[in-house]
Amino acid sequence: MEDIFSGIGLAFSPYAIIAVICGVVGGIVVGALPGLSATMAVAILTPLSFGMTPAVSMAMLLGTYVGAVYGGSISAILIRTPGTPAACATIFDGYPMTQRGEAGKALGWAALGSCVGGMIGLFFLVVSAPLITRFALSFSAPEYFGLAIFGLSIIISVSGKHVTRGMISGAAGLLVATIGMDPIQGSTRFIFNSMDLLGGISLISALIGLFAVSEAFNSAETVMRESERIKQIINGLFPLWREIKGHAVLILKSAVIGTFIGALPGAGADIAAFVSYNEARRSSRTPEKFGTGFVDGVIAAETGNNAVTGGAMIPLLTLAIPGDAVTAVLLGALMIHGLKPGPMLMAENRDLVYSFFCSLFVGNLLLLVFGIGGIKVFTKVVALTKRLLVPIILILCVIGAYAVGNNLFDAKLALAFGVLGYLMQKADFPVAPLALAIILGPMAEVALRQSLIMNHGSWSILATRPISLGLLIIAALSIFFSIRQAQKENKKREAMRS
Amino acid sequence: MLRKLSVVLCLFTLLALSAPRAGDFPGKGITIICTAAPGGGSDALARMLAQVAEPIFGQSVVVVNKVGGANAVGLSEGARARPDGYTVTMATVEVVMHPLLGNVPWKVPDVFKPIMLLNSDPGAVTVRADSPWKTLGDFLADAKKRPGEIKIGCTSPGSIWHICAAALEEASGTKYNLVPYPGGAAPAVVDLLGGHVDAVTVSPAEVGPQVEAGQLRILAVMSDKRDEKFTGVPTMKELGFNVSIGTWRSFVVPKATPDAVVKVLHDGFKKALEDPKLVEFARNRGLGLDYRNAADFTRMMGEQEAMFAKIFKAYDLLPK
């Protein structure tokens, strides 16, 4: 009990509060800018935090973490640019909402979803970390394969009316994901003797290209013609209590998925966003609305990806194993302060652990404050004429892709993917499945091949492990119903035409 | 007038062309190329060294992450840098591996001049604390009884922890089911904790917290001397196996860099490496400091090259 109070005292000291505020604000900016990631921001801040007390430095780093995971949604919703891979799923419904003049509403829900998702993740971290850890430990390669396939089954649902084309696009994405070093055998694949391709296609370059650059090209077509600015509604932005109640189940479910995926060391916020988006669509009464600017899509993706922050802290505190890339850096930050992450931390520095919880609480609360408070400022971006906005977006895209690894090749790659995305849209090929396959392909491949190695080449391992079997069955059902849904809609369209 | 001007210009050109005197070095900020992304051990060490070295050199020291191609991009960029000492590359063990695997068109002695070795972390054989194997002897005896059955989690072929597992196989004449974890040590350790694999061959630092918490047990380390923290764990050499492998990090500069400049860099960074703040950081972060001068480091790279070549050949990884 004493520890709890001294922990609260540590987290609410003036320095810690200032640190968490600075962290959240900085994190939101970093998250919103394409190419700058939470991992990068936390890694660069870590040596600076050496001189601070552990509580203050972790307040800053945790603030940066939650801020950056949320920040990606802003550019995703407003300019179709994934600030981080985690915000990719937010684009599907967030950007169509902006095109309809509902950017404010989308941003409001993104902020609320992120805050509540983060809070629920934190709740699970506080009350049930050991339990979730045990469940996470039962996950190995076959289970990851099931999870990846469940995530990939969304390909059909994000393809809209073009199911076949969506599958072609997804298959192309899987192929792109194989470029680079073979993750299991170490040999090289499709690199055409280019050193730049040795490490594979940079995920963030591909996402920036497919979504943001291609959209910039699209806008450029009409740039001379119009001054058609979409009028944004900016009143009544805060979601009403009635609406929140209506979405309570969705938020809770997405947060649970996000927390759990966060706790899995092999999967992070990007995968969590896709899986909760897919689950929201699968269980929705109006799945056809997803992808057309349906607020539920934004809520599911944003709640899911921010719940990861709490979840990813779970294995860090119970096993000294990071739950995602950012917590890997946090692990290092704890260690340079002479702390022992893992079970020893809770035993030896209980007050400090409580101060981390409090800082996460404050950080998540600040997301709501800055997220809602900033809507009017953020939406000014889309009030710019396209003549100004399109070049700015293109410059951001190139710089962002370059900044990932200070590698010019990545910037060229983003432009190439931009051309690809643009041509695909012109030919009515959905782009989202390609992006999804690039994100999930490597996980599916590695998990499947590891499973087979573990089981001496026999496929039975996928069916004999209950969690993996369960996930594969859900994935199969999801594919089945998505196809039927698409067929029904196509029939409806045909009936309307004739 | 024109004549005077041309003389002045010629003099300036001469001045610019003349090699910088070591006494003036460093006259501007130094850049460290880190070939890995922010977040890992290499990046952490580079940033901390930069911070500590700034007052020593009296100039800014900046870390730039040049990421891509499993460190090959950054290494190649470092090799191509202007040979004036202002661009230093943090070369990791991959600097020896990539040329062997045919991933890059250069060889270390042709393009780099080594400054010093900074750190090394050995491999180790780690099992669950509740496993029946109390010693490496138990483990190897069991492995002999059922070849290919015991699962060892390591990284992908052609990377360091896989080489450690392969070296264990070769030195002891046992066979395992090597499960590669391309995501690095952490996912392999998780699967060991979850009981999905039986052992891992990552560094002691990467299993340190779990060993201290009583969940895992290190059977042997693959270094010349025992681990500072886990002094009760024998080395492979003590047990009669000539296996000493691990990952390491070093500073190198382009081949044409003047020796006098290299000496300034060496002296400055050696001082930084001995700074109490850095020593404390490295101990806390679980990074084994391992200073070696250029000559010793060069010899070490030569030995490793020969050993890697043998293992790559056995695993059919050499370019055809």
Q: Is the dihedral of CA B280, B282, B286, B290 positive or negative?
A: negative
Give the other-Cβ count within 10 Å of A250's Cβ.
20
Q: Which domains does chain B possess? A: 28-121+247-314 (3.40.190.150), 124-221 (3.40.190.10)
Question: Which residues between 30 and 89 in chain B have a beta carbon less than 8 angstroms from any beta carbon of chain A?
Answer: 37-41, 43-44, 47-48, 51, 64-70, 72-73, 76
Give one DSSP letter per residue of A104-141, joined into a string.
Answer: HHHHHHHHHHHHHHHHHHHHHHHHHHHHHHHHHHT--H
Cβ-defined contact of B213 to A140 (cutoff 8 Å): no
pLDDT in tens, B26-49: 988 999 999 887 777 888 899 899
**Best residue in A49, A52, A135, A137 for a mutation probing chain B (most B CBs within 10 Å):** A137
Q: How high is the mean pLDDT of chain A?
A: 89
How confident is the model at residue A175, as a pLDDT?
Answer: 96
Q: Is there a contact between B182 and A183 if contact means CB atoms under 8 Å apart?
A: yes
- What is the chain A residue with the closest CA to B35? A405
> B319 to chain A: nearest residue by CA?
A187
Q: Of all helices (H) and strands (E), which one includes residue B170?
A: helix B160-172
pLDDT tens track for A197-251:
888 898 889 999 999 999 999 888 877 665 556 677 666 666 778 888 889 999 9
Contact across the interface for B190 and A332, Cβ inside 8 Å: no
Q: Rounded to whole angstroms, how far apart are CA atoms A397 and A63?
A: 25
pLDDT above 90: residue A361: yes
Residue the block writes with tokens 């080395």: B235
Nearest CA in chain A to B278: A336
B-contacting residues of A 211-270, CB under 8 Å? 265-266
Q: What is the pLDDT of residue A225?
A: 66
- DSSP secondary structure of B209-245: HHHHTTSEEEEEE-SSS--SS-TTSPBTTTTT-----
CA-derived radius of gyration, chain A = 22
Query: B200 falls in which pLDDT band (50, 70, 90)?
Result: very high
Quote the minimal CA–CA distance from A464 to chain B in Å.
14
Give the pLDDT band (50/70/90) at residue A4. confident
Best of A179, A321, A334, A349 to mutate (most B CBs within 10 Å, chain B) = A321
- Whether residues A182 and B186 touch (CB distance < 8 A) is answered with no
Quick one: average pLDDT of B102-114?
Answer: 92
Q: How confident is the model at residue B236 (pLDDT cuts 50, 70, 90)?
A: very high
Mean pLDDT calculated for residue range B67-71: 77
Instruction: Label residue A417 left, alpha or beta by phi (over 0 means left) and psi (-120 to 50 means alpha).
Output: alpha
Q: For residues A143-170, give the mean pLDDT.
A: 88
A25 is in which domain, residue-wise? 2-497
Enumerate the residues of chain B whose CB falls inside 8 A of the CB of residue A40.
37-39
Most confident of A247-256, A283-292, B17-26: A247-256
**Residues sharing a CB contact under 8 Å with residue B2, sequence separation 6 or more, in sequence order:** none
pLDDT at A487: 83
Q: Is A409 an interface residue toward B (CB < 8 Å)?
A: yes
Share of chain B above pLDDT 70, in %: 92
What average pLDDT does the segment B14-36 reach?
A: 74
| Residues of B whose CB is below 8 A from A44 | 38, 47
Per the CB < 8 Å rule, is A141 touching B213? no
Residues 176-195 of A with CB under 8 A from B: 181-188, 195
| Chain B, nearest residue to A343 by Cα | B213
If you measure CA to CA, which chain B residue comes closest to A340? B209
Residue B159 · residue A186 · CB < 8 Å: yes
Tell me what pLDDT residue A389 has. Answer: 87
Taking CB atoms and an 8 Å limit, are B194 and A320 in contact across chains?
no
Q: Which of A43, A344, A407 sits opposite B73 (nearest CB)?
A: A407
Q: Check whether A183 has a pLDDT greater than 60.
A: yes
CA distance A363 to A20: 6
Question: Tens of pLDDT along B249-273?
Answer: 999 999 999 999 999 999 999 999 9
In angstroms, rounded to a whole number, what is the distance separating the alpha carbons of residues B197 and A438? 28
A455 shares contact with chain B (CB less than 8 Å) = no
State the virtual CA torsion across A288, A290, A295, A301 in degrees, nearest 10. 150
Question: Which of B76, B77, B95, B179 would you mutate first to test chain A, the one with the most A CBs within 10 A?
Answer: B179
Task: Measure CB to CB from residue B209 to each of A342, A404, A446 and give the nearest one.
Answer: A342
B190 touches chain A (CB under 8 A): yes
- What is residue A359's predicted lDDT score, i.e. its pLDDT? 96
Mean of the per-residue pLDDT values of chain B: 89
- Please state whether beta strands B216-221 and B124-128 pair in parallel, antiparallel, or not at all (unpaired): antiparallel
CB < 8 Å to B193, chain A: 137, 319, 321
Nearest to B72 among A46, A195, A338 (CB): A195
Shortest CB distance from A328 goes to which of B48, B69, B186? B186
Cβ separation B39–A338 shorter than 8 A: no
Under the banding of pLDDT at 50, 70 and 90, the label for residue A319 is confident
Cβ under 8 Å to B: A residues 53-92? none
pLDDT in the model for residue B15: 53
Please count the structural domains in chain A: 1
Residue B185 touches chain A, beta carbons under 8 Å: no
Cα–Cα distance list, B200 to A321, B196, B255, B318 (Å):
15, 11, 38, 25
Closest by Cβ to B194, choosing from A138, A335, A340: A138
Q: Give how far the C-alpha of residue A41 lies from the chain's centroid of Cα atoms, to the nearest Å.
A: 16
Mean pLDDT of the region B141-168: 92
Give the whole-angstrom CA distance, residue B258 versus residue A466. Answer: 64
Whether the predicted pLDDT of B164 surpasses 70: yes
Q: Using the beta-carbon criterion (under 8 Å), do B38 and A182 form an inter-chain contact?
A: no
DSSP code for B195: T
Q: Quick check: B187 and B258 in contact, CB under 8 A?
A: no
For A184, the closest of B180, B191, B212 (CB atoms) is B180
> Cβ(B116)–Cβ(B289) under 8 Å?
no
* A329 to B193: CB separation less than 8 angstroms, yes or no: no
**Residue B187 sits at the chain A interface (C-beta within 8 Å):** yes
Q: What is the pLDDT of residue A267?
A: 84
Q: Is the predicted pLDDT of residue B19 greater than 60, yes or no?
A: no
Instruction: Kindly identify which residue of chain A lies nearest to residue B277, measuring between CA atoms.
Output: A50
CA distance A188 to chain B (A): 9
